[in-house]
Amino acid sequence: MCEKRLSSFTVCHSSPLDAIGYATSYQVPLIRDLIHLYKYEQVKSAVIDLGRLLNSYLTTTQLLPFLNTKKNAIIIIPIPLHILRERTRGFNQAKLLGEYIAHANTIPLCDVLSRTHDNPPQAKMKSKEKRIKNAEHLFALKQKTAYLIKNKTILLIDDVATSCATLTSAAEVLKHNGAKKVIGLVLAKG
């Protein structure tokens, strides 16, 4: 459960996520439209503006100091798409955002998670309970990658989070495999 709000991010207790930060709200029409173009109309160039927004949030809040760790102990991990969905879309929007943040901050990006099944999109789930159920056991660590996350602080990147079910499911796998901290870094709160 994420509950304690610190300036512009939330510290989580009783959750595999240690904290979560959102750059903006999905309710902002310009943001919603830009994310829609990016994800569903394949306007990959939108990652520049969306990446700038997310990076600005990361560098102007207390999120990096909250990590309380050396930069070389931080890695970026994007939320993966199922391979079929990524093939259909042509790219993984969270990975492109993660690459932007990684490049801007000289933090390595590690693509260590995979989706175990092609579940329905979270955006189609209307209740929190359905989103949580839909995200259960959704991720696995790729073979022979556990050493990359052992004792690391993870910035787990996604474009939109409403219930945090997807982030929580991914964080469970990362923590189970030795990650020290998992911080959700999200473009927009749904």
Tokens of 82: 């199922």
The confidence band for 120, taking pLDDT boundaries of 50, 70 and 90, is low
Of the two residues 102 and 68, the one the predictor is more confident about is: 102
Model pLDDT, residue 134: 61
15: containing domain: 2-189
Mean pLDDT computed over 45-68: 87
Domain count for the chain = 1
Whole-number Å distance between alpha carbons of 94 and 47: 10
- Phi (first) and psi of residue 32, to 5 degrees: -55, -45
- Phi (first) and psi of residue 187, to 5 degrees: -65, -50
Model pLDDT, residue 29: 95
Q: Strand, coil or helix: what is 153? A: strand
pLDDT tens digit sequence for 155-190: 999 999 988 889 999 999 999 999 999 999 999 998
Whole-number Å distance between alpha carbons of 176 and 127: 27
| Domain CATH for 56 | 3.40.50
Identity of residue 183: I
pLDDT tens digit sequence for 3-21: 444 346 677 767 899 989 9
Model pLDDT, residue 55: 94
What is the model's pTM? Answer: 0.88
